[in-house]
Structure 1
Amino acid sequence: MSSVAAEVPSHWDDFPRLYRRLAARIIRPVVTGQFHVDEELIASRLVEAGWTTWDTPLTEAVRDVWYAWWQATLHTHPSPVSIRKTLSLVTVATGSLRPWLDIWTATPTSTADAHLADLLDDVMVEFEITDLHMGFYGEYHASDELLGWLLTDVRQRVNDARLEDPYLLEQLGRATQHPG
Protein backbone atom coordinates (compact mmCIF):
# COMPACT_ATOMS: atom_id res chain seq x y z
CA MET A 1 0.00 0.00 0.00
CA SER A 2 2.86 2.38 0.77
CA SER A 3 4.31 2.15 -2.72
CA VAL A 4 0.90 2.77 -4.29
CA ALA A 5 0.28 5.75 -2.00
CA ALA A 6 3.63 7.34 -2.82
CA GLU A 7 3.78 6.66 -6.54
CA VAL A 8 3.58 9.64 -8.90
CA PRO A 9 0.09 10.18 -10.36
CA SER A 10 1.32 9.76 -13.93
CA HIS A 11 2.21 6.15 -13.12
CA TRP A 12 -1.50 5.24 -13.00
CA ASP A 13 -4.10 5.23 -15.74
CA ASP A 14 -6.79 6.78 -13.52
CA PHE A 15 -4.97 8.15 -10.49
CA PRO A 16 -7.94 10.02 -8.92
CA ARG A 17 -10.13 6.91 -9.11
CA LEU A 18 -7.40 4.68 -7.64
CA TYR A 19 -6.67 7.05 -4.75
CA ARG A 20 -10.38 7.43 -4.04
CA ARG A 21 -10.76 3.64 -3.86
CA LEU A 22 -7.76 3.31 -1.55
CA ALA A 23 -8.33 6.42 0.57
CA ALA A 24 -9.45 4.60 3.72
CA ARG A 25 -6.57 2.11 3.51
CA ILE A 26 -4.12 4.99 3.12
CA ILE A 27 -5.54 7.45 5.65
CA ARG A 28 -6.13 4.96 8.49
CA PRO A 29 -2.45 4.04 8.98
CA VAL A 30 -1.34 7.63 8.32
CA VAL A 31 -3.29 9.04 11.27
CA THR A 32 -2.05 6.28 13.56
CA GLY A 33 1.57 6.86 12.61
CA GLN A 34 1.89 3.41 11.06
CA PHE A 35 2.35 4.34 7.41
CA HIS A 36 5.81 4.49 5.94
CA VAL A 37 5.16 7.35 3.53
CA ASP A 38 5.78 10.99 4.40
CA GLU A 39 2.56 12.59 5.62
CA GLU A 40 3.19 15.66 3.51
CA LEU A 41 3.42 13.47 0.41
CA ILE A 42 0.06 11.89 1.29
CA ALA A 43 -1.46 15.38 1.54
CA SER A 44 -0.02 16.33 -1.84
CA ARG A 45 -1.31 13.12 -3.41
CA LEU A 46 -4.78 13.64 -1.97
CA VAL A 47 -4.87 17.12 -3.48
CA GLU A 48 -3.67 15.74 -6.80
CA ALA A 49 -6.42 13.10 -6.61
CA GLY A 50 -8.97 15.89 -6.12
CA TRP A 51 -10.36 14.44 -2.89
CA THR A 52 -12.63 17.47 -2.33
CA THR A 53 -14.43 16.65 -5.60
CA TRP A 54 -15.23 13.04 -4.68
CA ASP A 55 -18.79 12.01 -3.86
CA THR A 56 -20.14 14.02 -0.94
CA PRO A 57 -20.32 11.17 1.61
CA LEU A 58 -16.68 10.26 1.02
CA THR A 59 -15.50 13.87 1.03
CA GLU A 60 -17.38 14.51 4.29
CA ALA A 61 -15.95 11.33 5.82
CA VAL A 62 -12.40 12.38 4.94
CA ARG A 63 -13.00 15.88 6.26
CA ASP A 64 -14.40 14.38 9.49
CA VAL A 65 -11.23 12.31 9.83
CA TRP A 66 -9.10 15.46 9.56
CA TYR A 67 -11.05 17.18 12.34
CA ALA A 68 -11.10 14.11 14.59
CA TRP A 69 -7.41 13.47 14.02
CA TRP A 70 -6.52 17.10 14.75
CA GLN A 71 -8.53 17.05 17.99
CA ALA A 72 -7.00 13.74 19.03
CA THR A 73 -3.51 15.03 18.26
CA LEU A 74 -4.01 18.14 20.38
CA HIS A 75 -5.14 15.96 23.29
CA THR A 76 -2.34 13.38 23.05
CA HIS A 77 1.29 14.18 23.70
CA PRO A 78 3.39 12.80 22.31
CA SER A 79 1.23 11.87 19.35
CA PRO A 80 1.89 9.10 16.82
CA VAL A 81 2.59 11.69 14.11
CA SER A 82 4.52 14.87 14.86
CA ILE A 83 2.49 18.03 15.26
CA ARG A 84 4.24 19.64 12.29
CA LYS A 85 3.46 16.70 9.99
CA THR A 86 -0.14 16.54 11.20
CA LEU A 87 -0.65 20.28 10.78
CA SER A 88 0.95 20.19 7.37
CA LEU A 89 -1.18 17.31 6.14
CA VAL A 90 -4.51 18.81 7.22
CA THR A 91 -3.49 22.27 5.98
CA VAL A 92 -2.38 21.15 2.54
CA ALA A 93 -5.25 18.68 2.13
CA THR A 94 -7.87 21.32 2.99
CA GLY A 95 -6.04 24.30 1.51
CA SER A 96 -6.33 26.28 4.72
CA LEU A 97 -4.26 26.73 7.86
CA ARG A 98 -6.51 29.06 9.84
CA PRO A 99 -9.22 26.58 10.90
CA TRP A 100 -6.59 24.31 12.45
CA LEU A 101 -4.94 27.20 14.27
CA ASP A 102 -8.34 28.34 15.54
CA ILE A 103 -9.01 24.89 16.97
CA TRP A 104 -5.57 24.93 18.59
CA THR A 105 -6.23 28.37 20.07
CA ALA A 106 -9.52 27.07 21.50
CA THR A 107 -7.70 24.10 23.09
CA PRO A 108 -5.79 25.62 26.03
CA THR A 109 -4.61 22.32 27.51
CA SER A 110 -1.21 21.19 28.68
CA THR A 111 -1.01 18.67 25.82
CA ALA A 112 -1.87 21.29 23.19
CA ASP A 113 0.71 23.60 24.73
CA ALA A 114 3.31 20.82 24.70
CA HIS A 115 2.65 20.45 20.98
CA LEU A 116 3.01 24.20 20.63
CA ALA A 117 6.46 23.99 22.20
CA ASP A 118 7.35 21.10 19.88
CA LEU A 119 6.23 23.06 16.81
CA LEU A 120 8.25 26.07 17.92
CA ASP A 121 11.35 23.96 18.40
CA ASP A 122 10.84 22.59 14.90
CA VAL A 123 10.13 25.80 12.96
CA MET A 124 12.47 28.12 14.82
CA VAL A 125 15.61 26.30 13.67
CA GLU A 126 17.47 28.93 11.65
CA PHE A 127 14.21 30.96 11.62
CA GLU A 128 12.62 28.56 9.14
CA ILE A 129 9.30 30.05 10.18
CA THR A 130 10.09 33.13 8.08
CA ASP A 131 9.88 31.02 4.92
CA LEU A 132 7.83 28.01 5.94
CA HIS A 133 6.18 25.92 3.26
CA MET A 134 3.92 22.97 3.95
CA GLY A 135 3.29 20.03 1.71
CA PHE A 136 5.71 17.71 0.00
CA TYR A 137 6.11 20.17 -2.84
CA GLY A 138 5.81 23.27 -0.63
CA GLU A 139 2.31 23.98 -1.90
CA TYR A 140 1.20 26.03 1.09
CA HIS A 141 3.20 29.04 2.24
CA ALA A 142 2.44 29.22 5.95
CA SER A 143 4.94 31.76 7.30
CA ASP A 144 2.82 34.89 7.68
CA GLU A 145 -0.24 33.11 9.01
CA LEU A 146 1.64 30.90 11.45
CA LEU A 147 4.00 33.62 12.66
CA GLY A 148 1.11 36.02 13.21
CA TRP A 149 -0.75 33.36 15.17
CA LEU A 150 2.27 32.54 17.33
CA LEU A 151 3.01 36.19 18.10
CA THR A 152 -0.58 37.16 18.84
CA ASP A 153 -3.23 34.46 19.39
CA VAL A 154 -1.18 32.05 21.50
CA ARG A 155 1.73 34.24 22.59
CA GLN A 156 0.69 34.11 26.24
CA ARG A 157 0.83 30.29 26.13
CA VAL A 158 4.42 30.17 24.90
CA ASN A 159 7.39 30.81 27.13
CA ASP A 160 10.03 31.09 24.44
CA ALA A 161 12.45 34.02 24.23
CA ARG A 162 13.04 33.32 20.51
CA LEU A 163 9.65 34.90 19.82
CA GLU A 164 11.01 38.21 21.07
CA ASP A 165 13.69 38.33 18.39
CA PRO A 166 13.51 41.67 16.54
CA TYR A 167 13.84 39.88 13.20
CA LEU A 168 10.61 37.94 13.82
CA LEU A 169 8.77 41.04 14.95
CA GLU A 170 9.98 42.81 11.80
CA GLN A 171 8.70 39.89 9.68
CA LEU A 172 5.31 40.09 11.38
CA GLY A 173 5.20 43.84 10.73
CA ARG A 174 5.89 43.28 7.05
CA ALA A 175 3.25 40.60 6.81
CA THR A 176 0.57 42.79 8.38
CA GLN A 177 1.48 45.76 6.16
CA HIS A 178 1.43 43.68 2.98
CA PRO A 179 -0.92 40.73 3.54
CA GLY A 180 -0.91 37.99 0.91
Structure 2
Amino acid sequence: MPSPALDAAVDRIRTVFAGSTSPMETGCGMCHLPEETALLRTPDVELPDDVLWMFAHEVPNHFDDHPAVMRRILPQLAGRLATGRFAGLDAYELTGLGRSGWHTWPAEQACAVRAFLEAWWADTVTSEAPPYPVHEVFESCVTAGSTVTPYLAVWAGQPLGGPADRHLSDCLDRWIDDLIGDLTSPLFSWWSDPYRDEPLAELQAWLVEHAPPRLRAVGADPLLVFKTGLLALPYDERWTEEVWAAAPGS
Protein backbone atom coordinates (compact mmCIF):
# COMPACT_ATOMS: atom_id res chain seq x y z
CA MET A 1 0.00 0.00 0.00
CA PRO A 2 1.43 3.44 -0.90
CA SER A 3 2.58 5.65 1.95
CA PRO A 4 0.62 8.81 2.85
CA ALA A 5 3.40 10.87 1.24
CA LEU A 6 3.12 8.97 -2.03
CA ASP A 7 -0.68 9.17 -1.96
CA ALA A 8 -0.38 12.93 -1.48
CA ALA A 9 2.07 13.21 -4.40
CA VAL A 10 -0.30 11.29 -6.67
CA ASP A 11 -3.23 13.47 -5.56
CA ARG A 12 -1.15 16.54 -6.36
CA ILE A 13 -0.46 15.22 -9.87
CA ARG A 14 -4.17 14.57 -10.37
CA THR A 15 -5.07 18.06 -9.21
CA VAL A 16 -2.40 19.93 -11.16
CA PHE A 17 -2.97 18.04 -14.42
CA ALA A 18 -6.75 17.59 -14.19
CA GLY A 19 -8.42 18.37 -17.50
CA SER A 20 -5.18 18.27 -19.49
CA THR A 21 -5.41 17.34 -23.17
CA SER A 22 -3.45 17.53 -26.38
CA PRO A 23 -6.35 19.23 -28.14
CA MET A 24 -5.18 18.96 -31.76
CA GLU A 25 -3.43 15.61 -31.42
CA THR A 26 -3.32 13.32 -34.45
CA GLY A 27 -0.57 11.01 -33.20
CA CYS A 28 1.24 8.38 -35.22
CA GLY A 29 -1.17 6.51 -37.43
CA MET A 30 1.29 3.64 -37.76
CA CYS A 31 1.49 3.04 -33.99
CA HIS A 32 -1.90 4.05 -32.59
CA LEU A 33 -5.49 3.51 -33.59
CA PRO A 34 -7.59 6.65 -34.21
CA GLU A 35 -9.78 5.86 -31.21
CA GLU A 36 -6.67 5.63 -29.01
CA THR A 37 -5.33 8.99 -30.17
CA ALA A 38 -8.78 10.52 -29.69
CA LEU A 39 -8.46 9.82 -25.96
CA LEU A 40 -5.58 12.29 -25.84
CA ARG A 41 -7.94 15.01 -27.03
CA THR A 42 -10.49 14.07 -24.35
CA PRO A 43 -9.91 15.17 -20.74
CA ASP A 44 -10.04 12.92 -17.69
CA VAL A 45 -11.13 9.70 -19.45
CA GLU A 46 -9.07 6.67 -18.47
CA LEU A 47 -6.97 4.96 -21.11
CA PRO A 48 -6.63 1.18 -21.34
CA ASP A 49 -3.46 0.20 -19.50
CA ASP A 50 -1.71 -1.12 -22.60
CA VAL A 51 -2.42 2.13 -24.48
CA LEU A 52 -1.30 4.24 -21.52
CA TRP A 53 1.95 2.26 -21.29
CA MET A 54 2.63 2.69 -25.01
CA PHE A 55 1.98 6.44 -24.89
CA ALA A 56 4.30 6.71 -21.86
CA HIS A 57 7.40 5.59 -23.75
CA GLU A 58 6.59 6.86 -27.24
CA VAL A 59 9.20 9.02 -28.93
CA PRO A 60 8.37 12.74 -29.16
CA ASN A 61 8.08 12.92 -32.95
CA HIS A 62 5.18 10.48 -32.87
CA PHE A 63 2.97 13.22 -31.43
CA ASP A 64 2.00 16.71 -32.53
CA ASP A 65 2.51 18.00 -28.97
CA HIS A 66 4.54 15.54 -26.93
CA PRO A 67 4.61 17.57 -23.66
CA ALA A 68 0.83 17.97 -23.84
CA VAL A 69 0.45 14.21 -24.24
CA MET A 70 2.61 13.59 -21.18
CA ARG A 71 0.53 16.07 -19.16
CA ARG A 72 -2.63 14.34 -20.35
CA ILE A 73 -1.56 10.87 -19.20
CA LEU A 74 0.32 11.82 -16.01
CA PRO A 75 -2.58 11.52 -13.52
CA GLN A 76 -3.38 7.97 -14.57
CA LEU A 77 0.28 7.00 -15.06
CA ALA A 78 1.31 8.21 -11.60
CA GLY A 79 -1.54 6.34 -9.98
CA ARG A 80 -0.66 3.11 -11.76
CA LEU A 81 3.02 3.37 -10.85
CA ALA A 82 2.30 4.14 -7.20
CA THR A 83 0.05 1.12 -6.74
CA GLY A 84 2.06 -1.35 -8.81
CA ARG A 85 -0.81 -1.76 -11.23
CA PHE A 86 1.37 -2.60 -14.24
CA ALA A 87 2.49 -6.21 -14.56
CA GLY A 88 6.14 -5.18 -14.91
CA LEU A 89 8.36 -2.14 -14.99
CA ASP A 90 11.25 -1.11 -17.20
CA ALA A 91 13.10 2.20 -17.24
CA TYR A 92 12.39 2.37 -20.97
CA GLU A 93 8.74 2.88 -20.20
CA LEU A 94 9.38 6.33 -18.71
CA THR A 95 11.54 7.66 -21.53
CA GLY A 96 8.57 9.67 -22.75
CA LEU A 97 8.43 11.64 -19.53
CA GLY A 98 12.21 12.00 -19.53
CA ARG A 99 12.13 13.50 -23.04
CA SER A 100 9.16 15.78 -22.40
CA GLY A 101 11.15 18.68 -20.96
CA TRP A 102 8.96 18.66 -17.85
CA HIS A 103 11.67 20.58 -15.94
CA THR A 104 10.78 23.59 -18.11
CA TRP A 105 7.02 23.39 -17.56
CA PRO A 106 5.29 25.98 -15.33
CA ALA A 107 6.58 25.77 -11.78
CA GLU A 108 3.45 24.17 -10.32
CA GLN A 109 3.57 21.39 -12.90
CA ALA A 110 7.31 20.77 -12.69
CA CYS A 111 7.20 20.69 -8.89
CA ALA A 112 4.36 18.16 -8.94
CA VAL A 113 6.29 15.83 -11.25
CA ARG A 114 9.47 16.14 -9.20
CA ALA A 115 7.61 15.53 -5.95
CA PHE A 116 5.93 12.43 -7.36
CA LEU A 117 9.17 10.86 -8.58
CA GLU A 118 10.91 11.51 -5.26
CA ALA A 119 7.95 10.23 -3.22
CA TRP A 120 7.65 7.11 -5.38
CA TRP A 121 11.34 6.39 -4.89
CA ALA A 122 11.23 7.05 -1.14
CA ASP A 123 8.22 4.78 -0.76
CA THR A 124 9.97 2.03 -2.73
CA VAL A 125 13.37 2.11 -1.08
CA THR A 126 11.92 2.11 2.45
CA SER A 127 9.45 -0.74 1.84
CA GLU A 128 10.26 -4.30 2.86
CA ALA A 129 8.48 -5.65 -0.22
CA PRO A 130 7.73 -2.88 -2.74
CA PRO A 131 5.46 -3.55 -5.73
CA TYR A 132 8.37 -3.34 -8.18
CA PRO A 133 12.03 -4.34 -7.76
CA VAL A 134 14.01 -1.45 -6.31
CA HIS A 135 16.58 -1.38 -9.10
CA GLU A 136 13.78 -0.97 -11.66
CA VAL A 137 12.24 1.96 -9.78
CA PHE A 138 15.62 3.63 -9.33
CA GLU A 139 16.43 3.27 -13.04
CA SER A 140 12.94 4.52 -13.95
CA CYS A 141 13.20 7.59 -11.72
CA VAL A 142 16.64 8.38 -13.15
CA THR A 143 15.28 8.02 -16.68
CA ALA A 144 12.27 10.23 -16.00
CA GLY A 145 14.10 12.77 -13.85
CA SER A 146 17.43 13.04 -15.69
CA THR A 147 19.31 12.96 -12.40
CA VAL A 148 20.48 10.55 -9.70
CA THR A 149 21.11 13.23 -7.05
CA PRO A 150 17.78 13.40 -5.15
CA TYR A 151 17.30 9.64 -5.21
CA LEU A 152 20.75 9.01 -3.78
CA ALA A 153 20.04 11.62 -1.10
CA VAL A 154 16.93 9.70 -0.04
CA TRP A 155 18.97 6.49 0.11
CA ALA A 156 21.67 8.14 2.22
CA GLY A 157 19.07 9.40 4.67
CA GLN A 158 17.77 5.96 5.65
CA PRO A 159 18.68 4.22 8.93
CA LEU A 160 21.71 1.95 8.87
CA GLY A 161 20.80 -1.73 8.54
CA GLY A 162 17.21 -1.15 7.43
CA PRO A 163 15.30 -2.12 4.28
CA ALA A 164 17.08 0.51 2.19
CA ASP A 165 20.43 -1.16 2.89
CA ARG A 166 19.14 -4.58 1.93
CA HIS A 167 17.87 -3.06 -1.31
CA LEU A 168 21.25 -1.41 -1.83
CA SER A 169 22.96 -4.77 -1.51
CA ASP A 170 20.57 -6.34 -4.02
CA CYS A 171 21.03 -3.47 -6.49
CA LEU A 172 24.81 -3.48 -6.20
CA ASP A 173 24.91 -7.23 -6.71
CA ARG A 174 23.22 -6.56 -10.04
CA TRP A 175 25.22 -3.43 -10.97
CA ILE A 176 28.72 -3.80 -9.58
CA ASP A 177 30.47 -5.48 -12.50
CA ASP A 178 29.23 -2.79 -14.87
CA LEU A 179 30.19 -0.08 -12.41
CA ILE A 180 33.78 -1.20 -11.91
CA GLY A 181 34.07 -1.53 -15.69
CA ASP A 182 32.86 2.07 -16.11
CA LEU A 183 29.89 0.80 -18.12
CA THR A 184 26.58 2.65 -17.98
CA SER A 185 24.43 -0.33 -18.92
CA PRO A 186 21.92 -1.19 -17.54
CA LEU A 187 21.55 1.76 -15.18
CA PHE A 188 21.48 4.49 -17.78
CA SER A 189 20.58 2.57 -20.91
CA TRP A 190 17.59 4.87 -21.44
CA TRP A 191 19.24 8.13 -20.37
CA SER A 192 17.48 10.74 -22.48
CA ASP A 193 18.90 14.12 -21.45
CA PRO A 194 21.02 15.49 -24.33
CA TYR A 195 22.24 18.40 -22.18
CA ARG A 196 23.82 16.35 -19.38
CA ASP A 197 26.29 13.49 -19.32
CA GLU A 198 25.20 10.20 -17.81
CA PRO A 199 25.84 10.45 -14.05
CA LEU A 200 27.99 7.34 -13.79
CA ALA A 201 30.79 9.11 -11.93
CA GLU A 202 28.34 10.65 -9.47
CA LEU A 203 26.86 7.26 -8.64
CA GLN A 204 30.28 5.66 -8.28
CA ALA A 205 31.49 8.40 -5.92
CA TRP A 206 28.32 8.11 -3.83
CA LEU A 207 28.76 4.36 -3.49
CA VAL A 208 32.37 4.71 -2.40
CA GLU A 209 31.28 7.07 0.38
CA HIS A 210 28.04 5.48 1.51
CA ALA A 211 27.82 1.84 0.49
CA PRO A 212 30.50 -0.07 2.46
CA PRO A 213 29.10 0.48 5.99
CA ARG A 214 25.58 -0.12 4.75
CA LEU A 215 26.55 -3.35 3.03
CA ARG A 216 28.34 -4.59 6.16
CA ALA A 217 25.32 -3.66 8.30
CA VAL A 218 23.16 -6.14 6.39
CA GLY A 219 25.78 -8.87 6.12
CA ALA A 220 26.42 -8.47 2.40
CA ASP A 221 28.89 -10.72 0.60
CA PRO A 222 32.43 -9.53 1.51
CA LEU A 223 33.39 -9.80 -2.16
CA LEU A 224 30.65 -7.30 -3.00
CA VAL A 225 32.03 -4.92 -0.37
CA PHE A 226 35.51 -5.39 -1.83
CA LYS A 227 34.35 -4.71 -5.38
CA THR A 228 32.52 -1.59 -4.23
CA GLY A 229 35.76 -0.30 -2.74
CA LEU A 230 37.44 -0.67 -6.13
CA LEU A 231 35.33 2.25 -7.39
CA ALA A 232 37.62 4.57 -5.42
CA LEU A 233 40.56 3.59 -7.63
CA PRO A 234 41.42 4.86 -11.10
CA TYR A 235 40.14 2.47 -13.73
CA ASP A 236 43.49 0.82 -14.57
CA GLU A 237 44.34 0.21 -10.92
CA ARG A 238 41.13 -1.77 -10.33
CA TRP A 239 42.49 -4.73 -12.26
CA THR A 240 46.01 -5.21 -10.90
CA GLU A 241 47.11 -8.48 -9.34
CA GLU A 242 48.17 -6.65 -6.20
CA VAL A 243 44.70 -5.24 -5.66
CA TRP A 244 42.89 -8.51 -6.31
CA ALA A 245 45.27 -10.40 -4.02
CA ALA A 246 43.35 -8.75 -1.18
CA ALA A 247 39.95 -9.94 -2.43
CA PRO A 248 38.02 -12.26 -0.09
CA GLY A 249 38.64 -15.86 -1.03
CA SER A 250 41.85 -15.12 -2.92
Give the equivalent residue in structure 2 for 1:178: none
Deviation for aligned residue 1:38: 4.3
Give the equivalent residue in structure 2 for 1:107: 158
Q: Percent identity?
A: 26
Q: Distance in 1 between matches of 2:61 and 2:89?
A: 19
Deviation for aligned residue 1:149: 2.1
Deviations 1:9-28 (A, max 9, x none): 22222111111111121222
After TM superposition, list the pairs within 5 Å mapping 1:42-57 onto structure 2.
Answer: 42-57=93-108
Change (3 A) 1:92 1:6: closer
How many residue pairs end up in the alignment? 171
SS in 2 for 1:152: helix
**Any gaps of 5 or more consecutive residues in structure 2?**
1-51, 236-250
After TM superposition, list the pairs within 5 Å mapping 1:2-151 onto structure 2.
Answer: 2-35=53-86, 38-108=89-159, 110-124=162-176, 127-129=177-179, 130-133=182-185, 134-139=187-192, 141-151=198-208
Change (3 A) 1:165 1:63: closer
SS in 1 for 2:64: coil
Q: Distance in 2 between matches of 1:145 and 1:58?
A: 27
Say which is worse superposed, 142-151 or 8-17, in terms of deviation.
Answer: 142-151
Q: Distance in 2 between matches of 1:6 and 1:96?
A: 18
After TM superposition, list the pairs within 5 Å mapping 1:154-173 onto structure 2.
Answer: 154-159=211-216, 160=221, 161-165=223-227, 169=230, 171-173=231-233
Q: Distance in 2 between matches of 1:26 and 1:135?
A: 22
Say which is worse superposed, 64-73 or 132-141, in terms of deviation.
Answer: 132-141
Normalised TM-score (structure 2):
0.60
Q: Distance in 2 between matches of 1:58 and 1:37?
A: 27
Q: Which amino acid aligns with 2:225?
A: L
Q: Distance in 2 between matches of 1:10 and 1:36?
A: 27
**Any gaps of 5 or more consecutive residues in structure 1?**
176-180
Structure number with the bigger relative contact order (C-alpha 8 A, sep ≥ 6) is: 1
Structure showing greater Rg: 2
Contact 2:147–2:199 under 8 Å retained in 1: no
Q: Distance in 1 between matches of 2:108 and 2:227?
A: 47
Give the equivalent residue in structure 1 for 2:31: none
Normalised TM-score (structure 1):
0.80
Deviation for aligned residue 1:65: 0.9
Q: Distance in 2 between matches of 1:136 and 1:33?
A: 22
Q: Which amino acid aligns with 1:111?
A: P
Q: Distance in 2 between matches of 1:60 and 1:165?
A: 37
Q: Which amino acid aligns with 1:158?
A: L
Give the equivalent residue in structure 1 for 2:22: none
